[in-house]
Copies of this chain bind each other. A is one copy, B any other.
Amino acid sequence: MMKAVVKIAPKDGATEIVDKPPPTPGPGDVVIKVKATGICGTDRHIWHWDPSVQFMQTPVTYGHEFCGHVAAFGKDVVDLKEGDYVSAEMHVVCGTCFQCRTGRGHICSRTKIYGLHHDGCFADYVKVPASNVLKLPGRITPRVGGFLDALGNATHTALAADLVGRKIAITGCGPIGAMAGAVCEFAGASELFLIDVSDQALKRSRNWAAMAGRRIPVTVIDTRGEGAAKALALIRERTGDGVDAVLEMSGAEPAINFALEIVRPGGQLCLLGLTSKKDVTIKDYSKNVVFKGVQLQAIIGRKMYGTWYSMLGMLEAGLDVEPIVTAEYDLTDFAQAMATFDRGETWKVVLYPEGKPAKGPTRAA
């Protein structure tokens, strides 16, 4: 028997640590012993049974980002062996539609997400199709291997922009925004502007900006109230006609409009942020969109698997996202972990089925 964190009923809370038999692999499946796994914003929606996740069928095990070691696999699986250190893309796609067959599997309309549609990885063991498993270089610590889906979102968003020698703004500095900042810095950007409207996010961003090892200027900006006008003036002063690209991580209408204000003509917005507000009003459409000649690129998931290879290559070469982990728990302390996360007191939270490491996260929030 194994432990699993299970959403047991379609209502707020309703989550239990359950004992259940570990999964057994089908012919094309891999069963992985989970080493570390991250809490993501979607898990909070599941916890609260928000409208966006009410398509789910309970009971289902939470969790859609993790790393671990291969424990078992089916007869059709090649290129893997017991004990391999791996992670997995938890979006499982059909493989036969136009999108899947033209390198756009990340937008397959038949996508099933493990941890939402099927049992996920907040458990001792998780079962996934071999097609979705990726071997990890040993240099990647479990702490970081535990949230590669989130880092993959950040990587996909950042690499959609032209970064080398460019000035980049990020609107929305939750953990994924911070990861995107790290990717930009690693991949050759020349300057970063981190923008948010929450005291907690701004404080964490300032800590991150001040850390040893930052090689480029990072300016943290609060755009609440009169901050927006000051921010605009500051960015104009530093960039001339605006930033080269904005990574939009918030989904907030004011952030999207601010992004259109601060991007230079011909620049790019990469749109990852989702909004609970149904509609978004673009201000001054003719002036800020059309005449500016901008490009808006919506981002979903991770390119399967181009984003993964780029991300793993960067991590192998030293991309440092450990400071973005600001809380760690035993998996069985899920309720406490979720509560901390729910109060906005932390960036990334990592859970450990075998117990959290003696040494805590590299740097506190």
Which residues of chain A have a CB within 8 Å of any CB of chain B?
A: 78-79, 94-99, 101-104, 106-107, 109, 130-131, 159, 163-167, 186-191, 215-217, 240-241, 251, 264-266, 271-275, 277-286, 289-300, 304-306, 308-314, 316-318
Contacts and interface: CB of A to CB of B under 8 A. Distances in A.
B297 A266 contact: no
B281 A279 contact: yes
A300 to B, nearest CB: 5
A134 to B, nearest CB: 8
Contacts of A295: 295-298
A293 B165 contact: no
Contacts of A131: 95-96
Given A98-B309, A310-B164, A313-B190, A285 B275 contact: yes
Given A190-B316, A277-B285, 19 more contacts: A95-B131, A102-B103, A104-B265, A104-B266, A106-B293, A164-B310, A165-B317, A166-B310, A188-B188, A188-B317, A190-B317, A216-B318, A275-B286, A289-B296, A290-B298, A292-B300, A294-B298, A295-B295, A295-B297
A103 B298 contact: no
Q: How many copies does the complex hold?
A: 4
A296 B299 contact: no
13 contacts: A96-B130, A101-B309, A164-B310, A165-B309, A165-B311, A165-B312, A165-B314, A165-B317, A166-B313, A277-B285, A279-B281, A280-B282, A282-B282
A337 to B, nearest CB: 26
A86 B286 CA distance: 31
Contacts of A271: 289-290
B96 A318 contact: no
Contact of A285 (B163, B278, B290, B297): B278
Nearest to A313: B165
A99 B191 CA distance: 19
A342 B91 CA distance: 50
A283 B279 CA distance: 5
Name the 8 nearest CB pairs between A and B, nearest first: A165-B313, A103-B103, A190-B317, A187-B188, A280-B285, A101-B305, A107-B293, A165-B310
Contacts of A215: 317-318
A312 B190 CA distance: 9
Given A104-B266, A107-B293, A292-B107, A251 B317 contact: no
